[in-house]
Each structure stands twice: as C-alpha cells, then as structure tokens.
Amino acid sequence: MKCITVLYPSKDNEDFNFDFYKKRHAKLIEEILGTALARTEIRRGLPGPDGKLPPHIATITFWIRDWDAYEKAMAARAAELIAEVPLFSKQPPTFQVDELVYEYPG
C-alpha cells in the first residue's frame, strides 16, 4: 500500500481552517478517489514543550489501495483540489509519497 502525506506549514498559517478541510476538502478527495482510497487521517500539529509552533500545522495522510485508480482520478480532477487550497490555508502544502514497508498491528 502507498500513502500520500500532505504537510501544511505552521508559519503564517495559524488560521488553517480544519473545519473546512474536514467537512469540504477531505470529502471532495474521498469523492474523487472513491474505492482507490483506503483511509484518511487529518492531524493537527501541537506546540512543543517550549510553546513553539510545530513545523506543520496540519498533516494529512491518504492511504491509497489502488495506485492506478488514484493516478487516473487525480489526472482528471487535481486542478479542482488545488483551487480549494486558499479557502482553508494561507500557505501551499508539500507532498510526500511513501510505500508501507512495515506495520505494527497494535
């Protein structure tokens, strides 16, 4: 399985709109990816013990079960997702694609 991690920086982005992301943007991603998407995680970065902001205010992970279907869906509708970013974030994200090599079932 592969996953895509989307990182939104904290700097100049204190007003990141988690409600919009959860209620609108994540739902749009889920609609676009359909069964290619296995799981979505949205995490809020918390200040460290020194009170400083974390490097990223939001870390979102999408677990992809069907990479080919993901690529087809994104080719068709990525622009729609990119257009929404200014509605919830003052800063553009960075992305990382990973392949799962180990998982502890807990």
pLDDT in tens, 47-70: 999 999 999 999 999 999 999 999
Tens-place pLDDT, residues 7-32: 999 999 999 999 999 999 999 999 99
Instruction: State how many domains the chain has.
Output: 1
Domain coverage including residue 81: 14-38+65-89
Please report whether residue 50 resides in a domain.
no
Please report whether residue 83 resides in a domain.
yes
Please report whether residue 56 resides in a domain.
no
Helix (H), strand (E), coil (C) string for the chain: CEEEEEEEECCCCCCCCHHHHHHHHHHHHHHHHHHHEEEEEEEECCCCCCCCCCCEEEEEEEEECCHHHHHHHHHHHHHHHHHHHHHCCCCCCEEEEEECCCCCCC
